[in-house]
Amino acid sequence: MHAHVLVVGGGLGGVAAALGVLRSGRAVVLTEEFDWLGGQLTSQAVPPDEHTWVERFGVTASYRELRERIRDYYRRNYPLTDAARRQVELNPGAGYVSRLCHEPRVAVSVIEEMLAPHLGSGRLTLLQPYLPTAAQTDGDRVLAVTVTHRDTGEAIDISADYVLDATETGDLLPLTGTEYVTGFESRLETGEPSGPEDAQPGNMQAVSVCFAVDEVPGNVVIDKPEGYDFWRSYAPQFWGGPLLSLDAPNPRTLRRSSRDFTPNPDDDPLQVVADQRLSGGDQNLWTFRRIAARRMFTPGAYASDICLVNWPMIDYWLSPVIDVADPQQHIARARQLSRSMFYWLQTEAPRADGGTGHAGLRLRADVTGSSDGLAMAPYIRESRRIRAEYTVVEQDLALSVRGDKGAVEYQDTVGVGMYRIDLHPSTGGDTYIDVGCCPFQIPLGALIPVRMQNLLPAGKNIGTTHITNGAYRLHPVEWNIGEVAGHLAAFCLDHDTSPRAVRNTPAQLTAFQARLDAAGVERHWPDVSGY
């Protein structure tokens, strides 16, 4: 096959990249390893992690379109109550983590709707489920990428003028010989206050295998999972107690504290305000990432809420899953941990009435689209990252460094984002690193590899550090990065130029930024003090 642009990876960054190219009039081949497009929003089953002002500003127009299409899908297809249907900022799950908590399948359907006209026109070719297995290069250019069918082993060679790596772990970087880093950089290299003295390339954020649960009458306890005895007794020193528990360290104070888990609380979901400036919301594990609130729907439509489990108690940090001999072995162990946590909830978790175990908890395999009841794919927080023309460092955006000045403003800004620098426990034995953050910009230089000419990152693999990835890894920022990478590839084809030249030639940079402005990519923050 040949395409103007090949996008490898159909997560949020990959979908946004494909749309950016397609809406610029160019053809795309898009590949995805799993059965669902959408990555962390769908196959990884993670409800959106977004900043406070998402309903007003701070995301691209196409990301806002995605969000509003999800709401419209519920209004068109689901038996919402009249009061829920009238909500402008409809939050079907009434979760506290986001102003839009929803079931993964809805996002899959909406993404397919957004891509449908391009599939119909023939300008989009979707290869699924395929994963990259080899690449052909000539010096500093990628000539072709081989993708292999996950189940049959069928291989397809795809050549393209531009290749975008939107995989969850930056898989094209080693295949193409692109310079990259992993794990924790040395403070001597980056100057970051939170960095270690020596580089720790194997020290990466934990992965998690999420799952969805509801509650039914009776006893539906599963068989004791393999490995349960290990996980039941596992109590790392830095954690302050057993991992299988409702207790965990507070990310900011690191003091161990207890969370509440009460299925189907007697609350009014219409009164939920998802604003983590007021409260983190994670003290109640049921409502924090609730993705379907039964009282948002007509009586009887949902017998139970649906709760999405993405808690620190299922973080797997025994090994990285990047650049190790057998990553699938560790992903299997992460799945084992998640099943063990579910079994513990069914059998041993303390209840509000003084008893133990929630025997009616049920895995919702239909919600996650899997055979075993867990998410199809592990939630990947940290990828390989390109050696970039510009690397975003902690002192660019940390509140403790920047203070009232706000984050560094980049001349080559191509987007915005906002989230605390939020690092989960890592494979190097670190506990949380939680750093206050200013609303920040995305510099184009972080998307330009130091050497490669026609390969672009389109997800979490841009030029951030282990630390700043903690703020750049969330849903709307990943979408923004992918969308910009798609527009950049199309712009270079239209103007017979290169990504490096676009960034480093003032007239070209101005023209490219004007293209982003016209596409609804916000590149600057307003004054947020009044919001």
Question: Domain residue spans in the chain?
Answer: 2-47+102-185+384-392+447-508, 207-264+304-368
Cβ atoms of 93 and 74 within 8 Å: the answer is no
Instruction: For residues 293-304, give the mean pLDDT.
Output: 97
Section 144-154 average pLDDT: 98
Given a cut of 60, whether residue 334 has pLDDT beyond it is yes
Q: What is the pLDDT of residues 83-121, one digit of tens each?
A: 999 999 999 999 999 999 999 999 999 999 999 999 999
Q: Which comes out higher in pLDDT, residue 257 or 73?
A: 73
The tens digit of pLDDT for each residue in 160-169 reads 999 999 999 9
Residues 379, 308: contact at Cβ < 8 Å?
A: no
Share of the chain above pLDDT 70, in %: 99
Average pLDDT taken over every residue of the chain: 96
Cis ω on the peptide bond leading into residue 129 (within 30° of 0)?
A: yes
What average pLDDT does the segment 452-463 reach? Answer: 98
Question: Please, are residues 204 and 319 in contact by the beta-carbon 8 Å criterion?
Answer: no
- Would you state the CATH architecture of domain 2-47+102-185+384-392+447-508? 3-Layer(bba) Sandwich (3.50)
Asked if 339 contacts 332 with a C-beta cutoff of 8 angstroms, the reply is no
pLDDT at 281 over 70: no
Q: How confident is the model at residue 514 (pLDDT cuts 50, 70, 90)?
A: very high
Closest listed residue to residue 207, CA positions, set 352, 356, 94, 332: 332
Which one, of 44, 85, 50, 43, lies nearest residue 64 by Cα?
A: 50
Is residue 202 classed exposed, middle or buried when 0-12, 13-18 and 19+ CB atoms within 10 A define those classes?
middle
Q: Which two tokens stand for residue 227?
A: 């490995």
Instruction: Pick the closest to residue 10 from 97, 118, 142, 128 (CA basis).
Output: 128
Across 68-84, b (16+ Cβ under 10 Å) vs e yields: ebbbebbeeebebbeeb
Q: What's the pLDDT tens digit per position in 408-445?
A: 999 999 999 999 999 999 999 999 999 999 999 999 99
Backbone angles phi, psi at 394, to 5 degrees: -55, -40
* Arithmetic mean of pLDDT, 202-230: 98
pLDDT band at 274 (very low <50, low <70, confident <90, very high): confident
Proportion of the chain above pLDDT 90, given as a percent: 95
Please give the model's pTM, rounded to 2 decimal places. Answer: 0.97
Reduced to 3 states, what is the DSSP secondary structure of residue 499?
Answer: helix
Strands 413-417 and 440-443: antiparallel
Given a cut of 90, whether residue 252 has pLDDT beyond it is: no
Burial of 271 (0-12, 13-18, 19+ CB in 10 A): exposed
Residues 6+ apart with CB under 8 A from 119: 126
Q: In sequence order, what are the residues at sequence separation of 6 or more whose Cβ sits closer than 8 angstroms to the Cβ of residue 389?
A: 445, 446, 448, 449, 450, 463, 500, 503
Per-residue confidence at 279, pLDDT binned at 50, 70, 90?
A: low
pLDDT at 229: 98
Q: Where are the alpha helices (DSSP H) in 45-124?
A: 61-77, 82-86, 104-121
